[in-house]
Structure 1
Amino acid sequence: MTFWLAYKMLFGNIKRAIFPFLGVLCGIISLIMTLSLGAGGESIINTNLSAIGDNRIMIGGNSFNQRDIRILENYPFVEYALFPKARSYTDDNIYIGYPERVFDILDLPHLNDREVIVDKNQFENVKVGDTLELSIGTYRDRFLIKGLYEEKNPLELMRKGNRIIVSQDTYERIFGERNFSEIVISFEKGEDAEEYIPIILNKFRQDRGLYGDIQLLETPEVYKRIEKIKNIVSMTLGILSVISLGIGGLGIMNLIGSNIRSRTGHMGILRAMGMSSKDMVIMFITEGVIISFIGSIVGLILGIIFSVFVGKVINIYPVFSFGDIFISLVISLVVGIVMGSIPAVKAGEKNTIELLREI
C-alpha cells in the first residue's frame, strides 16, 4: 500500500515531479560526461606525454652502425635501439629509417626493400596495398604501402613534411648513410634507466671492441618528470569524479527534502488517517528512488550520446568504462538516498498537529 501510494502521489502531479527529475537527469549526464571525456582526455594526455618523454637514454660516439644496434638489443633490459638521425627531408617528405625491433614495439608490419608505412592523416587517399611514386632528389621509384599509422607525438607533428617510414636497410640504400653519431636506447616503462647507465656504457664499450669511445648525451630525467605530470593528471580527474558523485548524491537528497517541505500539509492528513511515521518515511524515500532510477537510466543514455557528440566537437574520443559508470551510479544513488532519508525521518518524527498547521 505504501509503495502504491508513493507511485500515485508522484505521477499524480507530473509538474511537481519534473523539476526533481531534471535535476537527477542533469546530474547523471554530467557524471557520465565527466567520467568518459575525462578518461578519453587522460588517454590522449598520457599518450602524448609518453611520446615526448620515453624511458630512454642517448649515447654518442664517432661512428655507430647496425652492428651496434644488434649488440644493444641483445641486452635483456633494452627494449629497442635506433638512430635518431636516420631521417632525411627531401621534396616535402620526411623519410624515417627504423630497425626491425622498432616495428614490433610500434605494432607495425616489418618492411622489405621498396615498402613504406605512411601517416594516414597526411596520405588520406591511399590504402594498404597501393603503390606510391616518390621522388628523392633525382631518384624516382615506386614503393608499396605496407601499412598506415597515426603520428601522436606532438613534437613530431610540428615538423613540416609528410612522414614516410622505411626500414633501416632501405634508408641506408636510398640516402647512402650507414654510420651515425648517436643512438637512442629505450628501456621498459617499469625499469629504472638510471641504474643501467653505467652497465650500458661499460658493457657496450667491451662488446664494441676498438671502435672508438662512447659518451652519455641524454638521461631519462624528462621521462621521470613526465611520469609525475601523468600522476597529477590522474589524481585531478579522480577528484573531479568524486565531486561529480557528491553532486549527484546531494541532488537526490535535495529531491527528497524538497518533496517533504512542499507536502507537509499532506503528511498531516495522512497521519490523521492513520499512516505511521515509518510508512511515511518509506513513502518519501520510495518517491526519491523512483525518480532517481528513471532519471539515472535516461541520464545514462543521454550522457553517452552527449559524450560522443561533444567528443567529436572537441576532438576527444570518450572512453566508456561501464563498470566504473555502474559503480558510480550506485554510489551516487546510495549516498543520495541515505542522506535524503535524514529529512524524511525528521519529518516523520513530527506529530500530527504540527503537520496539519502547515495546511
Structure 2
Amino acid sequence: MKMIFWFACKMLLGNSKRAIFPFLGVVGGITALIMSFSLGAGGEEIISTNLSAIGSNRIMIGGQEMSARDMQIIENYPFVEYTLFPGARENSGNNIFIGYSQKALMALGLRNLGDREVILDKNQFPDKQPGDRVDLVTENGVRSFTVAGIYEEKNPFELMKQGNRIIVSQGYFERLFGKYRYNELIVSFDKNEDAEDLIPLLLKRFNEDRRSYGQVRLLETPEVYKRIVKIQRMVKNTLGILSFISLCIGGFGIMNLIAGGVRARTGHIGILRAMGMSRENIVKIFLAEGVIISIIGSLSGVIIGVIGAILSGKLIMIPPQFNVLQILFALVVSLAFGIGMGVYPARKAGNIAITDALRDI
C-alpha cells in the first residue's frame, strides 16, 4: 500500500498543474459546506429566537376605546397566553416606559410588578441588580424606582428603537402617564393553539363580551411570521444545493485528472504492467490520486471554511455554530466523491492491454 501511495504522489507532483483544478474544486466545495452549515445553523437560531421574541402565534385587533378591562376579558380565555397594548409606551428623556400585563410578565418569566417597581434590560443597565434603586426621568420629573428584575430584550423590532427600555406594570403605567384608552391590542395564543382557527372564535366571543363598547376587528394575522419561516427554509436549502454543486465540480475535476493521467501515462502503464504490476495495483494507484486530492482538499477546505465562517459571521452579525458531525459528514462526502469519480478512469487504466500501452512509448 505504501508503494501505491508513493507512485500516486509522484504522479501528482509530476502533473501538479492539472491537479490544481480538482484540488480547488474540493476545497471550494468543503469550504462552502462548512460555511453554509455553520452560518445556516447560526442564522436559524437567530431567526428562531427572533420569531419567538416577536411572537409567531399572535394577532393584533383594533377598536375604539379599548382599556385594561378588555385586556382582562381576553386574558381570561383559556386559549390566550397574554395580551399587550402596543400604545402602552411613553418616551421620557432617553427612557421608554412600557406597560406589561401580569400575564405578559409571566410569559417573560418575570414576576408581577407593584408601583414604582421596574424591570430593566441588562444590556442597557449592566450595573443594576434586583433590589437596587434607580432614578429615572418621567413626565413628572425624576423619580426613584426599585429594580424588581433584569431581562434581555431579543425582539429585533424593539432593539432597533432608541432609548432605555423600562418595563412597568400596566396599571402603574396608566396612573403614571394618565393613559387609559388604546386603539390596538396584541393577543398571543398558547403555543399549542392554532391562531388561524381561533381568530373567528376570539372576535365573536370578545365582541359579545364587550357588549356596548363597540366592535373590534382583526388588524394583523400570524401569516407574516409563517412567511419568514418559509424564507428561512428556502435560504437554507439554496445554500445546501450550491455547496453540493461545488463539491460535484471538485469530483468531476478529480475524474478528469485521473482520466487525463491515464491518457498521458499510457506508456508508463505499459512498462509497469510489463514489469509484473497487476491490473489491481494499477487501478489502486490512480484511485490513490483521487483519495490524496480529496483528503488534502477536504482538510484545507475545513480550515478555510471555519476561518471564513468566523470572519463572515462577524461581518453579517451571525455567530456561526460548528457541528463536529456535520464536519465529519463533509469529509466523508468529499472522500466518497474522490473515490467514486475516480473509479471509472482508474478501471479503464487497469484494463489497458500491455501491447497497446507499450505502443505509446
Task: Confirm or deny: 8 A CA contact 2:75 2:83 kept in the other structure.
Answer: yes
Q: In the alignment, which of 270, 283, 286 is matched to residue 284 of structure 1?
A: 286
1:152 aligns with 2:155: yes
**Equivalent residue number for residue 227 of structure 2:** 228
1:341 CA displacement: 1.4
3-state SS of paired residue (2:81): strand
Closer, same or farther in 2 for the Cα pair 1:277/1:82, shift >3 Å?
A: same
Task: Confirm or deny: 8 A CA contact 1:111 1:166 kept in the other structure.
Answer: no
**Equivalent residue number for residue 248 of structure 1:** 247
**Equivalent residue number for residue 295 of structure 1:** 297
**Unaligned regions of 5+ residues in structure 1, if any?**
none
**Higher mean C-alpha displacement, 27-36 vs 226-235:** 226-235
**Equivalent residue number for residue 204 of structure 1:** 206
**C-alpha distance in structure 1 between counterparts of 2:255 and 2:2, whole Å:** 17
1:57 aligns with 2:94: no
**C-alpha distance in structure 1 between counterparts of 2:300 and 2:172, whole Å:** 57
Closer, same or farther in 2 for the Cα pair 1:314/1:356, shift >3 Å?
A: farther
**C-alpha distance in structure 1 between counterparts of 2:358 and 2:103, whole Å:** 81
**C-alpha distance in structure 1 between counterparts of 2:9 and 2:347, whole Å:** 23
Q: CA RMSD in A?
A: 3.2
Closer, same or farther in 2 for the Cα pair 1:250/1:23, shift >3 Å?
A: closer
Q: In the alignment, which of 7, 23, 26 is matched to residue 9 of structure 1?
A: 7
Q: Output the TM-score relative to the length of structure 2.
A: 0.81
**Equivalent residue number for residue 327 of structure 1:** 329
**Equivalent residue number for residue 258 of structure 1:** 257
Describe the superposition over 1:58-78 as per-residue Cα deviations: whole angstroms up to 9, x where unpaired: 333444444433332332332
Closer, same or farther in 2 for the Cα pair 1:102/1:282, shift >3 Å?
A: farther
1:239 aligns with 2:238: yes
1:7 CA displacement: 1.9
**C-alpha distance in structure 2 between counterparts of 1:252 and 1:127, whole Å:** 57
Pairwise mapping of residues 119-198 of structure 1 onto structure 2 (< 5 A)? Answer: 119-121=121-123, 123=124, 125-129=126-130, 131-137=133-139, 138-144=141-147, 146-154=149-157, 156-188=158-190, 191-198=193-200
Describe the superposition over 1:101-153 as per-residue Cα deviations: whole angstroms up to 9, x where unpaired: 223434x43353344333455x2653434543211022422342621313432
Closer, same or farther in 2 for the Cα pair 1:319/1:276, shift >3 Å?
A: same
**C-alpha distance in structure 1 between counterparts of 2:73 and 2:358, whole Å:** 90
Identity %: 43
Task: Return the letter of the residue paired with 1:186.
Answer: S
Q: Output the TM-score relative to the length of structure 1.
A: 0.82
Pairwise mapping of residues 29-40 of structure 1 onto structure 2 (< 5 A)? Answer: 29-40=31-42
3-state SS of paired residue (2:39): helix
1:347 aligns with 2:345: no
1:160 CA displacement: 3.5
**Unaligned regions of 5+ residues in structure 2, if any?**
none
**Higher mean C-alpha displacement, 343-352 vs 82-91:** 343-352
**C-alpha distance in structure 2 between counterparts of 1:105 and 1:40, whole Å:** 25
1:32 CA displacement: 0.4
**Higher mean C-alpha displacement, 331-340 vs 27-36:** 331-340
Closer, same or farther in 2 for the Cα pair 1:10/1:70, shift >3 Å?
A: farther
3-state SS of paired residue (1:214): coil
Task: Confirm or deny: 8 A CA contact 1:83 1:184 kept in the other structure.
Answer: yes
Task: Return the letter of the residue paired with 1:224.
Answer: E
3-state SS of paired residue (1:305): helix
Task: Confirm or deny: 8 A CA contact 1:86 1:97 kept in the other structure.
Answer: yes
**Equivalent residue number for residue 87 of structure 1:** 89
**Higher mean C-alpha displacement, 303-312 vs 49-58:** 49-58
**Equivalent residue number for residue 104 of structure 2:** 102
Task: Confirm or deny: 8 A CA contact 2:286 2:342 kept in the other structure.
Answer: no
1:301 CA displacement: 4.0
Task: Return the letter of the residue paired with 2:70.
Answer: D
1:273 aligns with 2:275: yes
3-state SS of paired residue (2:203): helix
1:86 CA displacement: 0.9
Task: Confirm or deny: 8 A CA contact 1:245 1:332 kept in the other structure.
Answer: no
3-state SS of paired residue (2:213): coil
**Equivalent residue number for residue 214 of structure 2:** 213
Task: Confirm or deny: 8 A CA contact 1:81 1:185 kept in the other structure.
Answer: yes
